[in-house]
């Protein structure tokens, strides 16, 4: 019975990912280029091995296969990866400077 819920939840997550409610961004793409371990790619539970290449080339990663667990964020040895979601997008659009979310990114 439990497995019957997994398929619809996975499909819902893919739809939400395509809409773009979040993406993974890096503070400095050059850190990714110099990273010898590429731990972010190894930590991904769904096997998104192209994370480092996208971070270096575009500065962000957005894919319908990303499930948003955050293992890659935690695995980065440089604390360079963060979630860019609707809260950060709104704070940038509204030009809010004292929002606590921005402080979380810059840690």
How many C-alpha atoms does 86 have within 13 Å on its Cβ side?
5
Average pLDDT estimate for 101-105: 55
Average pLDDT of span 47-57: 93
pTM: 0.70
Distances (CA, A) of 45 to 31, 65, 77, 92: 22, 10, 18, 30
Give the mean pLDDT of 44-67: 91
Q: Quick one: pLDDT at residue 19? A: 62
Kind plus residue range of the DSSP H or E element containing 22: strand 22-26
Q: Which residue has the higher pLDDT, 53 or 3?
A: 53
User: At 60, which helix (H) or strand (E)?
Assistant: strand 60-61
In degrees rounded to 5, what are phi and psi of residue 34?
-90, -10
Length of the chain: 107
């Amino acid at each position: 019975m439990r497995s019957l819920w997994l398929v619809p939840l996975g499909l819902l997550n893919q739809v939400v990912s395509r809409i773009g409610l979040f993406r993974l961004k890096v503070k400095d793409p050059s850190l990714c280029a110099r990273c010898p371990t590429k731990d972010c790619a190894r930590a991904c539970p769904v096997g998104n091995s192209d994370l480092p290449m996208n971070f270096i080339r575009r500065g962000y990663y957005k894919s319908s296969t990303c499930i948003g667990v955050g293992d890659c964020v935690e695995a980065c040895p440089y604390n360079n990866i963060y979630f860019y979601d609707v809260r950060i997008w709104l704070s940038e659009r509204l030009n809010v400077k004292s929002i606590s979310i921005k402080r979380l990114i810059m840690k």
